[in-house]
Structure 1
Amino acid sequence: MKRSLPTSIVGSLPKPAWLAPPEKLWSPWKLEGEQLLEGKQDALRISLQEQQLAGVDIISDGEQTRQHFVTTFIEHLSGVDFENRKVVRIRNRYDASVPVVVGEVARQKAVFVEDARFLRKQTTQPIKWALPGPMTMVDTLYDAHYKSREKLAWEFAKVLNEEARELQDAGVDIIQFDEPAFNVFFDEVNDWGMAALEKAIEGLQCETAVHICYGYGIQANNDWKKTLGAEWRQYEEIFPKIRNSNIDIISLECHNSNVPLDLIELVRGKKVMVGAIDVASNEIETPEEVADTLRKTLAFVDIENLYPSTNCGMAPLSRTVARGKLSALSAGAEIIRKELAV
């Protein structure tokens, strides 16, 4: 019997200090060659154990084998130049030096499939794997070839679909597509972004999720949030389209955010990963705080569709803080299970 209120993280966990310098994004590897491969596998084992010890139900890889949730996937594609980079504005928030699309993008080989097979062998629990969404990939590089965000997104959707099908065959139960760009480019989401995501999940039998957040707890994102006012209603623009899509699960940022929770009503019928852990703060939530966030969302999502989760990835946090937050998530979900006897 499947447990009610299954908990999970959205994506990343902090890496061990011997693998990469902690508490930063795009952190360079400290190992190379065979040692790096072995180190990544060791980190996967640790990430698995830490989730299990904290009582997390749906296991993720913690993104231990990748430097960044978008660029690591792009690195494995042909048609992208990582040497001659350009500076672009990411999600209308901050400038970053990014790779350049110089030719047709294609997937030469599997990117994460071996990692997924390795994780699958270590546990019988359900596994969730995150991939970047097509629109967020488009927004994380400079396109000198297609000259069209829509055309490039469509090509990315095709290669993502190839990868997703192989991940499914490797035993992944839920494939999550990270689309923070959905929170910024509403017209594009409705014009072609959602269609590109549907292309990425085409033919999959496993469950699929889309994660739409307000970003990692980095300064540029925190500053942007301060400009959004008392109510963050971005989800309102895109939820109707998502509700009518084939995506099974929607992952949202709810704890310590100004998102009006009644917006979740717009996706009634979908499963909802409710972000009940703030990843932009080192303060560890109490189980009761987590339970309170979950309790409030139950007015808008049926209990069988509620999946307690983190707001976003935890890569920039310390391992001690991340562990504490994982435990709080599980304990908070348990409070609600006992309250409702589910």
Structure 2
Amino acid sequence: MKTLLPTSTAGSLPKPAWLAQPEALWSPWKLQGEELVDGKHDALRVSLQEQQQAGIDIVSDGEQTRQHFVTTFIEHLSGVDFENRKTVKIRNRYEASVPTVVAAVARPKPVFVDDARFLRKQTKQPIKWALPGPMTMIDTLYDDHYKSREKLAWEFAKLLNQEAKDLEAAGVDIIQFDEPAFNVFFDEVNEWGVACLERAIEGLKCETAVHICYGYGIKANTDWKKTLGSEWRQYETVFPKLQKSNIDIISLECHGSRVPVELLELIRGKKVMVGAIDVATNTIETPEEVASTLREALKFVDADKLYPCTNCGMAPLSRVVARKKLSALNAGAQIVRKELLA
């Protein structure tokens, strides 16, 4: 029987301290060579077990084998020079030193497929795999070749589609594309961003998702959120186009944010991963707080289409906090499940 309100995470989970520096993004690996390969697989197993113990229904790799949700994919492409770095402003918010596109981009071989196969062997539960979306990829690079954000995004969409097809063949049930850039570049999203995303999912038979959030709980993001006023209505600009798209699931941020929940009406008919866990705070939600967020969402999302989730990735949090937040997500979902089945 299909689980009602199946829980999942948006993506990243904290890495063990023996693998990488905790509570940091872009944290360097502490192991090398074969030890690093083994260490990543061990971390993936631990992450899976922590999700299972917390009662998460749709599990993931917790992004244990990658340093960053965007750059790790880009590192495996040709045409990108990581030595020749430039400083750019990411999502109009914070500066970062990023690699440069110096020639036509290509994907010489699969990037995450071995890791996905490894995860598939560890569990019979549905698994979700996150990839960076085309628009978020172009926003994390300096382009010295195509000289066009749109052209580069279409090239990335083709490469992502190749990777997604290989992940599907490896047994992944849901492929998610992370597109925080959809909350910033509204004109581009509507002109070509959603179309690019549809190119990335072309021909897939597994379920597809797009994750659009307000970012990790890092200072640049929390400072930006303070400028957004009493209501965060960014979703209003992109939801109508996404509602008409071929994407199956839309993953978004609800709890602890100022997103008016009625905006969910704009994607009525889609499956929705409702962020019911705030990743920008160490405060652990109570099961009742999670349940309250889900009940509000149920006014605009049919129960068989609602997937309780985290607002965003949890890499910058401590493992203890992340574990407790996942347990709260499960407990809150159970409360609402019982109410729906009563």
The TM-score by the shorter chain falls in which range?
over 0.9
Paired amino acid for 2:274: V
Map of 1:32 onto structure 2: 32
CA displacement, residues 249-307 of structure 1 (integer Å, 9 cap, x when unaligned): 00010000000000000000000000000000000100000000000111000000000
CA displacement, residues 69-117 of structure 1 (integer Å, 9 cap, x when unaligned): 0000000000000001000000000100000000000000110000000
Map of 2:79 onto structure 1: 79
Paired amino acid for 1:46: V
User: What is the 5 A alignment of 1:91-106?
Assistant: 91-106=91-106
Map of 1:15 onto structure 2: 15
Q: Whole-Å Cα distance in 2 between the matches of residues 325 and 61 of structure 1?
A: 17
- Residue 68 (structure 1) shift: 0.1
Map of 2:123 onto structure 1: 123
Q: Whole-Å Cα distance in 2 between the matches of residues 254 and 99 of structure 1?
A: 33
Map of 1:298 onto structure 2: 298
Map of 1:223 onto structure 2: 223
- Residue 339 (structure 1) shift: 1.1
Map of 1:188 onto structure 2: 188
- Residue 340 (structure 1) shift: 1.4
User: What is the 5 A alignment of 1:22-171?
Assistant: 22-171=22-171
Map of 1:322 onto structure 2: 322
Unaligned runs of 5+ residues in structure 2 are none
User: What is the 5 A alignment of 1:284-295?
Assistant: 284-295=284-295
Specify the SS of the correspondent of 2:103: strand
User: What is the 5 A alignment of 1:259-274?
Assistant: 259-274=259-274
TM-score, normalisation: structure 1:
1.00
Map of 1:247 onto structure 2: 247
Percent pairwise identity: 80
Q: Whole-Å Cα distance in 1 between the matches of residues 208 and 335 of structure 2?
A: 27
Paired amino acid for 1:35: E
- Residue 150 (structure 1) shift: 0.3
Q: Whole-Å Cα distance in 1 between the matches of residues 250 and 264 of structure 2?
A: 10
Paired amino acid for 1:120: R
Q: Whole-Å Cα distance in 1 between the matches of residues 251 and 111 of structure 2?
A: 23
Specify the SS of the correspondent of 2:281: coil
Q: Whole-Å Cα distance in 1 between the matches of residues 177 and 261 of structure 2?
A: 22
User: What is the 5 A alignment of 1:199-214?
Assistant: 199-214=199-214
Paired amino acid for 2:104: E
TM-score, normalisation: structure 2:
1.00
CA displacement, residues 304-331 of structure 1 (integer Å, 9 cap, x when unaligned): 0000000000000000000000000000
Paired amino acid for 1:293: T
Specify the SS of the correspondent of 2:92: coil
Map of 1:310 onto structure 2: 310
Specify the SS of the correspondent of 2:96: strand
Paired amino acid for 1:328: A
Specify the SS of the correspondent of 1:60: coil
Structural RMSD (CA): 0.5
Q: Whole-Å Cα distance in 2 between the matches of residues 208 and 163 of structure 1?
A: 13
Paired amino acid for 2:60: S
Paired amino acid for 2:173: D
Unaligned runs of 5+ residues in structure 1 are none
Paired amino acid for 1:16: P
Q: Whole-Å Cα distance in 1 between the matches of residues 144 and 314 of structure 2?
A: 33
Map of 2:335 onto structure 1: 335
Specify the SS of the correspondent of 1:280: coil
Q: Whole-Å Cα distance in 2 between the matches of residues 134 and 84 of structure 1?
A: 21
Q: Whole-Å Cα distance in 2 between the matches of residues 301 and 24 of structure 1?
A: 34
CA displacement, residues 214-265 of structure 1 (integer Å, 9 cap, x when unaligned): 0000000000000000000000000010000000000010000000000000
Paired amino acid for 1:230: S
Count of matched residue positions in the alignment of Structure 1 and Structure 2: 342
Q: Whole-Å Cα distance in 2 between the matches of residues 100 and 2 of structure 1?
A: 45
Map of 2:279 onto structure 1: 279
- Residue 341 (structure 1) shift: 1.1
Q: Whole-Å Cα distance in 2 between the matches of residues 282 and 194 of structure 1?
A: 33
Paired amino acid for 1:42: D
Specify the SS of the correspondent of 1:290: helix
- Residue 2 (structure 1) shift: 1.0
CA displacement, residues 167-205 of structure 1 (integer Å, 9 cap, x when unaligned): 000000000000000000000000010110000000000
- Residue 141 (structure 1) shift: 0.4
Paired amino acid for 1:113: V
Q: Whole-Å Cα distance in 2 between the matches of residues 337 and 251 of structure 1?
A: 20
